[in-house]
Amino acid sequence: MRPRIETGHRRLERIALDPLARTTTSYYLFVLFLVAVVAWGFYAYVTQIRWGLVTTGMRDQVFWGIYMVNFVFFIGISHAGTLISAILRVTQASWRTPITRMAEMITVVAISIGALMPIIDMGRPERVWHMIAFGRFQSPLLWDIISITSYLTGSLVYLYLPAIPDLALMRDRLGRDASAIKRKIYTWLAVGWRNTPEQRHRLEKAIGIMAVTIIPIAVSVHTVVSYVFSMTLRPGWNSTVFGVYFVIGAIFSGIASLLIVMALFRKFYHLEEFITARHFRNLGYLMLVALLVYFYLTVGEYLTTGYKLEIEDKHLLELLLVGESAGWFWFFVVAGLVIPAVLIIVRRGPVIPRMLIAAVLVNAAMWVKRFLILVPSLQVPLMPFEFGAYRPTWVEWSITAAAFAAFILIFAIFAKVMPLISVWEVAEEMESAEHATLEAVERPSGTLEEAEGMGGSAAQRRLEETQS
Amino acid sequence: MPDKQDGKKLGRRQFLKWSAGAGLAAVLSSPFLPVLNPVKAANVPLPGPSHDTSHSNEGGDPKKVRAWTMVVDLKKCDGCVTIDAPPQCTQACIDGHFAPKGQEWIQIFGVDLPGGGQSFLPVPCYQCENAPCVNVCPVAATYHNEDGVVLIDHKRCIGCRMCMAACPYHRRFFNWAAPEVPPEAALAHYSPLYPVPAVKGTVIKCMFCAHFLRDGKLPYCVAGCPMKALYMGDRNEDIASNGVEVVQLSKFLDENDAFRWKEGLGTQPRVWYLPGHGQNFNRHASDPRPLKRPVWNWGGDGYNYQIEPLTWKRRPNETKD
């Protein structure tokens, strides 16, 4: 059996490190396109700085717009990393290993982009340091700053720690022609990793501590993001359930983002052998759980306010259910809840395209849902006057497009400096799977089939699933 | 000799320990400093002629704590429709503060009456005692001054608009662009009590003309009201005036069934209304004449223009930025 493990290991390394070694022209073209979009967004931002927020569609009544929608959206998808890598690690779900790296990357990139959004939204961005110099803990915005910076720091550490053995691997596999600076960086980042049992033990311990630490931080982040809204006396925002509602929504869209990222990288970087239908199926079920909870909370939110029908809530519900925003609201219900649920439950057709379609729909619908949480609440008049109106301008759309482009761009660059799957963890899992098979075979009473049923030959099963 | 050396060594080590400890303590405690000192951060005296000495000399004892309160007698408020003019309180406020176009710091709303008629409701900032806007400000740019007025320090405001989200009366405005103001606005000395000229990218609102009150002068709106429907007073001294009569505030409120807008929210506004629909000036509740819009004498089109991409020609406020 030994040689087979070695081959598998080598094959894993080859496939995982391939994107780092080889870069195609279409990659450069794609990056160039993304850079162009980001540059256009930068031009839009310069325009906004020059003239002020008058260049946006926001005005005194609807004074927050799609910048804040993006903020909630990006902070939301950042929960992918925590859920997959921390929760699944703590619960020791071994199937997570090939997708943890991507999940953690989503987290780090999404928080960074998301945290920029309120700064872009500020009237005086040059005074952002006032938040630290004169910060008041009574303000929900300061809670945001504290928990988001903690989350970013924690996620960076949590991305880095499990990457150390892989960085050491890259240090060792660098070709002779690799530049000195590249070698220096990888050597520095690998912090002298030699894969000794003691190092291994310490690393596992550190990762374990971080996994447990990061879960409450992640929950706190989206809770306080919701508090920015629910600490106010506005219809639709003045709600006690908002913390949970936002956390569940974040996990929901986080899983959807991870599914999209997985499907794309699987295709472009030929990771079919490691990211299999099983991962899509399992994540699909997790997404279904989040979907059902989110559906439950949505019904609860609108039923309780709609039953009592306070006048401002009445205005809001009319806007959402039958009025101006009704098209978007029912789009959210159908495309974000009904169709994805059907796609996950009705197991007909190949699983990966099904999950990809469901995930794309969920992410689009969740962006719309954040818009519906934000904007119609602000349109409702609080004094006896007319409803407000909001239509984002080209500046806002450009900056939004740039934010998404920057998200993909950082990802594309990440993929060139670090393996997209955690090589050492997958190798470890393969090894332990092989051992399980060996043990099962050696056991006199057991059969090979039984052993496979117990989750034995992972490699074999992967091959089967790749074909399906 | 060895002893001495040891002593020296110990001393240096001790020193290093001490300084490291002090540095660590400073670093660790720095995030908590705002907690220890939140109110002081807000009340740092600001430069500007209207803040302390120049205005408070005439107003008697500068140490006396005031509780400025406004009373609006709706029996006298006809929305200025009977004199066929825009609401004169709003107009006086705009002219006095060079309020950027579109901002009505005191605004008149038409309130539907049960029988199909309409009454008018002048709404300044309510200067709530339990002000939601003050609670949420992340940088203490908006705060209560010693007389209970909610002010904004436009040199500190970061323009996050959290206070606008918190205000349940929609009484805060944002300077979406460099404000269009007449040239004479440049002569004003800015202070949170008299935020003129308005600062781009910050939140602005009515501040009860706090720069006048300590001098014993009435706010622009109170002085500007031709019907004398607005009263300004001090709850601590239990007195209020509309410029022609002086009333005992507590009795005046009680005997005229005063109420506050959205009392149930618990924000405790400092503005009271006496119910009515302008009947003192023979305005009928069913009078169909609508409110007239106030005017901004210095032109411009407010914040209603939008900037299109890649148009390199000169734009309307090119020179003002």
Measured between CB atoms, does A386 come within 8 Å of chain B?
no
More confident residue, A99 or A37: A37
For the cut 80, the answer to whether the pLDDT of residue B28 exceeds it is: no
Nearest Cα neighbor of A275 from A287, A283, A266, A286 is A266
Owning domain of residue A406: 2-467
Whether B143 and chain A come into contact, CB under 8 Å, resolves to no
Contacts of A50 in chain B (CB under 8 A): 321
* Whole-number pLDDT of residue B49: 39
Contact B160 A47 (CB under 8 A): no
Closest CA of chain B from A58, distance in Å = 8
Cβ-defined contact of B136 to A135 (cutoff 8 Å):
no
Using the structure block, give the residue that is written with the tokens 């780090």: A108
CA A24 to CA A20: how far, in whole Å?
11
Q: Is A63 on the interface with B (CB under 8 A)?
A: yes
In our burial notation (b when 16+ CB lie closer than 10 A, e otherwise), range B203-222 reads: bbbbbbbbbbbbeebbbbbb
Q: Do B201 and A228 touch (CB under 8 A)?
A: no
The per-residue pLDDT for range A382-401, each reduced to its tens digit, is 998 889 999 999 999 999 99
Contact between A136 and B34 using a beta-carbon 8 Å cutoff: yes
Question: Which chain B residue is nearest to residue A45, measuring alpha carbons?
Answer: B309
Topology, domain B63-281: Alpha-Beta Plaits (3.30.70)
State the CB neighbour count (10 A cutoff) for residue B255.
Answer: 11
Which residues of B fall within a CB distance of 8 Å from A145? 138
For residues A195 and A436, what is the distance between their CA atoms, to the nearest angstrom? 23
The alpha carbon of residue A123 is apart from the nearest alpha carbon of chain B, in Å, by 4
The whole-angstrom separation of Cα B66 and Cα B282 is 36
Give per-residue burial for A340-367: e unless 16+ CB within 10 Å, then b.
Answer: bbebbeeeeeebbebbbbbbbbbbbbbb
Interface residue B260 vs chain A (CB under 8 A): no
pLDDT of residue B301: 67
Average pLDDT on B52-56 reads 40
pLDDT interval class at A443 (50, 70, 90): low
B109 touches chain A (CB under 8 A): yes
In this predicted structure, the answer to whether residue B250 has a pLDDT above a threshold of 70 is: yes
Q: Do B234 and B148 contact (CB within 8 A), yes or no? A: no
Chain A touched by B291 (CB under 8 Å): no
How near does any CA of chain B get to the CA of A266, in Å?
38
Distance CA A49, CA A53 (A): 8
Mean pLDDT of A80-90: 81
Taking a C-beta distance cutoff of 8 angstroms, is the pair B147, B65 a contact? yes
Is the model's pLDDT at A455 over the cut of 70? Answer: no
One-letter amino acid at A417 equals V
Q: CB-CB: which of B41, B168, B303 is closest to A54?
A: B303
A443 vs A155 pLDDT, higher one: A155
Total beta-carbon pairs less than 8 A apart between chain A and chain B: 158
Tokens 């709303």 correspond to: B109
**Which of A157-161, A362-366, B37-41 has the lowest average pLDDT?**
B37-41
Q: How confident is the model at residue B29 (pLDDT cuts 50, 70, 90)?
A: low
Q: Where are the domains of chain B?
A: 63-281
- Comparing B29 with A228, the larger pLDDT belongs to A228
Higher-pLDDT residue of A21 and B109 is B109
Q: For A161-172, what is the mean pLDDT?
A: 91
Cβ–Cβ contacts within 10 Å for residue A417, how many?
Answer: 14
- At A334-353, the pLDDT tens digits run 999 999 999 999 998 899 99
Residues of A with CB below 8 A from B202's CB?
123-124
Per-residue pLDDT at A250 exceeds 70: yes
Is the dihedral angle over the CA atoms A317, A319, A325, A326 positive or is it negative?
Answer: positive
| Residue type at position A329 | F
Judge contact between A287 and A252, C-beta under 8 A.
Answer: yes
Instruction: Output DSSP code: residue A349.
Output: S
The reported pLDDT for the residue numbered B56 is: 40
| Residue B5, pLDDT above cutoff 50 | no
pLDDT grade, residue A220 (50/70/90)? very high
Cβ under 8 Å to B: A residues 163-182: none
- List of chain A residues whose C-beta atoms are within 8 Å of the C-beta of residue B38: 136-138
Task: Report the number of distinct structural domains present in chain A.
Answer: 1
* Least Cα separation, residue A314 to chain B (angstroms): 16
Contact: B309, A118; criterion CB under 8 Å: no
User: Which stretches of B81-200 are assigned E, i.e. beta strand?
Assistant: 107-112, 118-123, 142-144, 150-152, 173-174
Chain A CB within 8 Å of residue B305 CB: yes
Instruction: Supply the CATH number for residue A288's domain.
Output: 1.20.1630.10
